[in-house]
């Protein structure tokens, strides 16, 4: 079960919630954090370290982590936070977009970024704007994380964009805008819940899915999609957020300690998940995964195909101002690098 729940994290991350318990606990604040991350994963391990650090902090804050998607999908967790049944979550951009659409600006522009250093730099520049928008929606960001690249896994070899147009591609169920956009561009999207990805691959309902390698390994998707295109399609971006009304119940001096602990957890998750992504590919290769390298001329074809989608992505999947700002920041960074 946890294997299916991990896939929800893709493609895909997670949260906290706080309520005042019984009077016997006096001023203690309880924050329940829901996440799709499986028990024992690097995500869960870092969060558990955070639990212990929060317990030791002054102010009597109790952080409880619910892994394995026991609180439902990311959309479910956002709904639970909205009704105060949860107060926090570690979410991918897909889940965060249910709160603030602008957060998908880094993840929903395929083939835009050249490397993860570029992703890190642009994310850092966008942080103030995105955090302000999330605050206006009633959420505080505890940490941001981008956990490596999303890559295509398929039943048959996939090398060029024209081959992708002949395939049945997994898309999140209910993402009507993206499905319409892909059909318009000549692709064949199939809307499924994350738990249906593996059955879909087994039955041929879909024959390709874009996922981070660590999720493919955990869900054993490579057993039914034994081909991976070694193309950095898009980064997997997420954040841990907490409801502001729960956060504000904690004394200000204690919040500083808790935020420091959360920042450390975020850095650990990011660093370890990137390493595990590479290790996941090696592990899948040992059990039969074929990795297809991408020649420079073919990579140019993929970039051109992705850029054809940008006019529709702008304003539909990504708010226009965020899309334009990401493009501007990338262009400025590259221009400055050339001038050095």
> Does the structure show a pLDDT above 80 at 130?
yes
Q: How far apart are CA 235 and CA 107, in angstroms?
A: 6
Q: What is the pLDDT of residue 41?
A: 83
**Residue count of the chain:** 340
CA distances 36 to 66, 228, 242, 337, Å, are: 8, 24, 16, 38
Give which of 250, 260, 61 is closest to 142, Cα–Cα.
260
Q: What is the pLDDT of residue 172?
A: 81
Q: What is the mean pLDDT of residues 39-63?
A: 88
Q: What is the pLDDT of residue 21?
A: 38
> Does the structure show a pLDDT above 90 at 1?
no
> Phi then psi for 113, rounded to 5 degrees?
-95, 140
Percentage of residues in the chain having pLDDT higher than 70: 91
Which residues are within 8 A (CB) of 340 and not within 5 positions of it... i.e. 6 or more apart? none
Q: Provide DSSP, 259-280.
A: HHHHHHHHHHHHHHHHHHHHHH
- Residue 129 banded pLDDT, cuts 50, 70, 90: very high
Q: What is the pLDDT of residue 173?
A: 79
Percentage of residues in the chain having pLDDT higher than 90: 74
> Does the structure show a pLDDT above 50 at 302?
yes
Q: How far apart are CA 333 and CA 340, in angstroms?
A: 11
- Residue 282 banded pLDDT, cuts 50, 70, 90: very high
Q: Look up residue 220 and give its DSSP letter.
A: T
- What pTM, to 2 d.p., does this model score? 0.85
Q: 2-339: which CATH architecture?
A: 3-Layer(aba) Sandwich (3.40)
Q: How far apart are CA 211 and CA 260, in angstroms?
A: 31
**Contact assessment for residue 71 and residue 34, using Cβ atoms and an 8 Å cutoff:** yes
- Give the CB-side neighbour count of residue 144, counting CA atoms within 13 A: 21
Tokens representing residue 242 in the block: 């907490």
Which residues are within 8 A (CB) of 194 and not within 5 positions of it... i.e. 6 or more apart? 4, 5, 7, 8, 10, 11, 73, 172
pLDDT tens-place string over residues 153-164: 999 999 999 999
**Contact assessment for residue 282 and residue 214, using Cβ atoms and an 8 Å cutoff:** no
> Does the structure show a pLDDT above 70 at 22?
no
Which residues are within 8 A (CB) of 96 and not within 5 positions of it... i.e. 6 or more apart? 103, 104, 134, 238, 239, 241
Q: Look up residue 244 and give its DSSP letter.
A: H
Of 104 and 10, the one with more pLDDT: 104
Q: Is 147 helix (H, G, I), strand (E, B) or coil?
A: strand
Which residues are within 8 A (CB) of 157 and not within 5 positions of it... i.e. 6 or more apart? 163, 227, 290, 292
């Amino acid at each position: 079960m946890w294997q299916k729940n991990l896939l929800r994290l893709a493609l895909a991350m997670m949260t906290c919630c706080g309520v005042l318990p019984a009077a016997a606990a006096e001023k203690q604040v309880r924050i329940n954090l829901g996440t799709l991350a499986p028990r024992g994963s690097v995500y869960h391990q870092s969060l558990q370290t955070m639990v212990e650090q929060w317990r030791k902090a002054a102010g009597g804050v109790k952080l409880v982590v619910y892994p394995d998607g026991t609180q439902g999908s990311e959309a479910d967790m956002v709904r639970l936070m909205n009704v105060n049944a949860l107060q926090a979550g570690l979410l991918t951009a897909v889940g965060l977009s249910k709160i603030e659409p602008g957060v998908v600006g880094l993840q929903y522009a395929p083939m835009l970024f050249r490397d993860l250093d570029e992703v890190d730099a642009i994310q850092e520049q966008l942080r103030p704007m995105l955090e302000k928008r999330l605050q206006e929606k009633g959420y505080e960001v505890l940490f941001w994380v981008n956990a490596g690249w999303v890559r295509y896994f398929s039943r048959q070899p996939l090398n060029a964009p024209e081959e992708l147009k002949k395939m049945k591609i997994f898309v999140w169920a209910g993402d009507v805008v993206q499905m319409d956009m892909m059909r318009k561009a000549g692709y064949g999207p199939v809307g499924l819940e994350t738990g249906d990805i593996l059955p879909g691959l087994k039955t041929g309902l879909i024959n390709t899915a874009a996922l981070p390698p660590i999720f493919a390994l955990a869900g054993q998707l490579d057993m039914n999609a034994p081909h991976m295109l070694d193309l950095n399609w898009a980064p997997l971006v997420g954040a841990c957020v907490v409801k502001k009304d729960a956060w504000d119940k904690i004394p200000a001096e204690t919040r500083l300690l808790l935020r420091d602990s959360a920042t450390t957890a975020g850095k650990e998750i990011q660093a370890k998940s990137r390493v595990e992504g590479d290790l996941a590919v090696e592990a899948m290769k040992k059990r039969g995964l074929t990795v297809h390298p991408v020649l420079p001329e073919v990579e140019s074809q993929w970039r051109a195909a992705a850029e054809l989608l940008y006019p529709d992505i702008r304003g539909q999947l990504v708010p226009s101002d965020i899309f334009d700002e990401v493009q501007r920041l990338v262009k400025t960074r590259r221009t400055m690098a050339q001038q050095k």
